[in-house]
């Protein structure tokens, strides 16, 4: 209840002085309340036996039964949170006030009564009472929902390291309420060993903001010693700093759920694993006649489609993917949807060792053609991993994992492809897993720092800003190459929190330098394709601009050519909004992509960055010199600026100056340097 928003309340006035009762009654009526009067404590207790009231104004000094004794008897039946009591007393000694509060009074008013003070204190107690009642109703609803729910409920307090498990959550696993404590270990120690890392990753991804919610299908140990399948989902609650302090959700038993996926109609993972086991049994009896293979299929970067067009659109894409895959298979092959955008194929009765690769090539050819969904032409990139039975293979999960390992290698190429599993892939896969795990810890512990490569105005020879570069210093392994961890960050979605950290930190550095007297300078931040296509990208940029208060005209976003050509409508809209914020846009590594020059005219682009591969051999290499000249001339005709990357010699610099190239960066001027060195560099050049 807000101040000024009066809710009608029944208020009992207990006072032996008739004038006091009349004054308080008129005050309450004028405020919209319903007054009830009693002349003494005994009469007040009789009123409470027959009527319900919301608050009591109780005088202390009265005949027959004083206010202290009356209060003691009231508190035997009504707590202070259920029925607030305000004492009205002429006793100003602190010991009497303390006595009243110790007996259970909620507040007190000193006589003679100041009506405005009295009304304010009454309103405060009624507001607290209203909040208490609302909270109690909410708790009752939650308790009823928990008792009646088919799902088990859980509520994890990260600060207390406690998890509340509902009675249904416990009974789902065969336990009584008192048999499970409120500890996270009660959950994680029961997870199937093959599922633990996947569940923890899903939780970490959500806490770090990589995913919008936590969702996982996994196995958990029942009291009877068997594992049951559950679907677990949850949402994290974050504080004003964006840090998760609590996560709550539900758990559903899906052990006996239908074996087929409701969206595509394909068999699910468990059914597929059963079929692999059947093929393994046949293979063990007659390897020559029962050779089989598994192909793990993934729709590469499918999340971008979901983020751009929505989940309903994405579902239609997955249905079409399932149809096209099925069209490539024989009647004896089995196609399964494992989860999300992951599919798997079980090839049986293989008569040629090349059959799995032949099928993979056939699938790639089938997906070369775009698919039309809701009038939009969508092109998909499929990557595949193939595994076959080998000496020492043990379980269906083992074979499916091998196919997934090969799939990860195919993904690393960044294009439509497939890989056949071999033992050497394990070391590469383990290295990637190790980098991924270390990267999660690094984000949590902020093991990153920024380097700054100065950018030079060629007309003046002075620094006008810098490109910001992300670096990772591992506590044990030292500096990790960006070539190793950036692809992992891209593939796992961790580039989102990383990219946001880079942008925030760059803005904070700009402000810090300005406070130390450095004139305004430009900060250029690289934006990955994953960031650019994320639905929250623009809102996060606006939040940082608002919080850090860096003038946007001193910021520049560097994006690559390939980003521009993927979903032109989304690209144009996003670039326009960035430009409207006042942030400049530059095309990084220009000349190395597969772009159409028409976008330079259509999109709000400010600067072209000529890739270092063209600068490296100029002016001696005539082809590179000609390409560089053409790029600069074209940019100037389109009223765009040019910055040349990778300048390392005086000859390169002079060549670029003759072509009226505006800006440059490279080791000739400075290697990427730390924050303090960059400050000194700017101080020398700008001050």
Q: What is the pLDDT of residue 449?
A: 97
Task: Give yes or no for residue 560 having a pLDDT over 50.
Answer: yes
- For 330, counting Cβ atoms within 10 Å of its Cβ (0-12 exposed, 13-18 middle, 19+ buried), the class is exposed
Provide the pLDDT for residue 40. Answer: 93
How much is the average pLDDT of 501-517? 96
* Residue 579 CA: distances (Å) to CA of 533, 557, 574: 16, 10, 9
On the question of pLDDT at 394 being above 80, the answer is no
| Distance (Å, whole) CA 556 – CA 450 | 16
Pairing label, strands 555-560, 584-590: parallel
pLDDT at 308: 77
Mean pLDDT confidence for 388-414: 82
How many helical (H) and strand (E) elements, i.e. helices and strands, does the chain have?
25, 26
Sequence-distant (≥ 6) Cβ neighbours of residue 553 within 8 angstroms: 582, 584
> So what's the pLDDT on residue 143?
54
Provide the pLDDT for residue 100.
Answer: 86
| Residue 369: closest CA among 360, 358, 356, 382 | 382
Does pLDDT of 147 surpass 60?
no
User: Does position 28 have pLDDT exceeding 80, yes or no?
Assistant: yes
- Mean pLDDT for the stretch of residues 206-228: 86
Give the bridge partners for 165, in sequence order.
154
Q: Which two tokens stand for residue 485?
A: 């961890």
Q: What is the pLDDT of residue 592?
A: 66
Helix H or strand E segment including 316: helix 311-327
Residue 226, pLDDT score: 85
pLDDT of residue 496: 93
Domains delineated in the chain = 10-145 (3.40.50.2300), 150-253 (3.30.450.20), 269-421 (3.30.70.270), 439-685 (3.20.20.450)
The yes-or-no verdict on residue 550 having pLDDT over 90 is yes
Q: What is the mean pLDDT of residues 65-79?
A: 92
Q: Is 451 exposed, middle or buried (0-12, 13-18, 19+ CB in 10 A)?
A: middle
Distance CA(97)–CA(382), nearest Å, equals: 77
Helix residue spans in 549-621 (DSSP H)? 561-564, 568-581, 598-602, 612-615
Question: Of the given ranges (387-391, 442-446, 576-580), which has the lowest mean pLDDT?
Answer: 387-391
Write down the pLDDT at residue 393.
61
Identify the band that residue 1 occupies on the pLDDT scale cut at 50, 70 and 90.
very low
Q: Which residues contact 435 (CB under 8 A, 6 or more apart)?
A: 480, 484, 485, 488
280-302 residue pLDDT tens: 888 887 787 888 999 999 998 88
Residue 379 — very low, low, confident or very high, per pLDDT cuts 50/70/90?
Answer: confident
CB neighbour list of residue 129: distance below 8 Å, 6 or more residues apart = 54, 55, 81, 84
- The DSSP call for residue 594 is -
Chain-wide mean pLDDT for the chain? Answer: 88
Q: How far is Cα 492 from Cα 301, in angstroms, rounded to an integer? A: 10
User: Token digits for 461?
Assistant: 């020879």
pTM of the model: 0.54
Lowest mean pLDDT among 144-158, 313-327, 480-494, 505-519: 144-158
Cis, peptide link before residue 619, omega less than 30° from 0:
yes
């Amino acid at each position: 209840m807000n101040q000024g928003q009066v809710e009608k309340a029944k208020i009992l006035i207990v006072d032996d002085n008739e004038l006091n009762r009349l004054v308080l009654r008129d005050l309450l009526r004028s405020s919209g309340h319903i007054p009830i009067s009693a002349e003494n404590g005994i009469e007040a207790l009789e009123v409470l036996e027959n009527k319900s009231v919301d608050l009591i104004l109780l005088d202390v000094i009265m005949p027959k039964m004083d206010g202290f004794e009356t209060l003691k008897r009231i508190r035997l039946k009504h707590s202070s949170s259920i029925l607030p009591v305000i004492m009205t007393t002429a006793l100003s000694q602190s010991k009497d006030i303390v006595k009243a509060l110790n007996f259970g009074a909620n507040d007190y008013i000193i006589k003679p009564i100041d009506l405005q003070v009295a009304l304010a204190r009454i309103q405060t107690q009624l507001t607290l009472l209203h909040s208490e009642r609302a909270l109690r109703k909410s708790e009752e609803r939650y308790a009823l929902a928990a008792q009646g729910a088919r799902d088990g409920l859980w509520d994890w307090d990260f600060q207390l390291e406690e998890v509340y498990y509902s009675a249904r959550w416990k009974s789902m696993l065969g336990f009584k309420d008192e048999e499970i404590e409120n500890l996270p270990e009660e959950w994680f120690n029961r997870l199937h060993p093959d599922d633990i890392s996947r569940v923890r990753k899903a939780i970490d991804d959500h806490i770090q903001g990589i995913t919008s919610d936590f969702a996982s299908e996994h196995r958990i140990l029942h009291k009877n010693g068997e594992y049951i399948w559950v679907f677990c989902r949850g949402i994290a609650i974050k504080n004003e700093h964006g840090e998760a302090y609590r996560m709550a959700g539900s758990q559903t038993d899906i052990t006996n759920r239908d074996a087929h996926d409701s969206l595509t109609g394909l068999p699910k993972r468990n059914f597929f694993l059963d079929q692999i086991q059947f093929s393994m049994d046949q293979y063990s009896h007659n390897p020559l006649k029962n050779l089989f293979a598994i192909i793990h299929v993934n729709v590469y970067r499918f999340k971008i489609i979901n983020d751009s067009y929505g989940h309903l659109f994405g579902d239609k894409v997955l249905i079409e993917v399932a149809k096209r895959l099925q069209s490539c298979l024989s009647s004896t092959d089995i196609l399964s949807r494992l989860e999300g955008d992951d599919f798997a194929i079980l090839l049986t009765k293989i008569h040629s060792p090349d059959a799995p690769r032949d099928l993979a090539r056939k699938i790639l050819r089938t997906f070369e053609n775009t698919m039309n969904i809701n009038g939009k032409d969508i092109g998909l990139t499929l990557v595949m991993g193939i595994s076959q039975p080998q000496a020492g293979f043990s379980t269906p999960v083992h074979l499916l994992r091998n196919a997934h390992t090969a799939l990860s290698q195919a993904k690393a190429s960044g294009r439509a492809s497939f890989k056949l599993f071999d033992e050497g892939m394990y070391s590469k896969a383990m290295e990637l897993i190790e980098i991924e795990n270390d990267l999660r810890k690094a984000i949590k512990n902020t093991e990153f720092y920024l380097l700054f490569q100065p950018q030079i105005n060629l007309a003046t020879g002075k620094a006008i800003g810098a490109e910001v570069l992300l670096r990772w210093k591992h506590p044990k392994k030292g500096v990790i190459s960006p070539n190793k961890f950036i692809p992992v960050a891209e593939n796992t979605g961790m580039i989102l929190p990383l990219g946001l950290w880079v942008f925030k930190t760059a803005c904070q550095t700009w402000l810090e330098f300005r406070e130390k007297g450095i004139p305004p300078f430009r900060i250029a931040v690289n934006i990955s394709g994953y960031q650019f296509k994320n639905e929250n990208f623009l809102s996060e940029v606006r939040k940082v601009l608002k919080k850090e208060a860096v003038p946007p005209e001193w910021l520049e976003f560097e994006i690559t050519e390939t980003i521009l050509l993927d979903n032109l409508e989304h690209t144009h809209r996003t670039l326009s909004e960035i430009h409207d914020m006042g942030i400049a846009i530059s095309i990084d590594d220009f000349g190395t992509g597969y772009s159409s020059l028409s976008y330079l005219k259509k999109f709000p682009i400010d600067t072209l960055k000529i890739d270092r591969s063209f600068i490296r051999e100029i002016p001696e290499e005539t082809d590179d010199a000609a390409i560089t000249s053409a790029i600069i001339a074209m940019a100037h005709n389109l009223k765009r600026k040019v910055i040349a990357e990778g300048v390392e010699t005086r000859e390169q610099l002079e060549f670029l100056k003759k072509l009226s190239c505006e800006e440059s960066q490279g080791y000739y001027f400075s290697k990427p340097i730390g924050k303090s060195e960059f400050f000194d560099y700017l101080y020398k050049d700008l001050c």
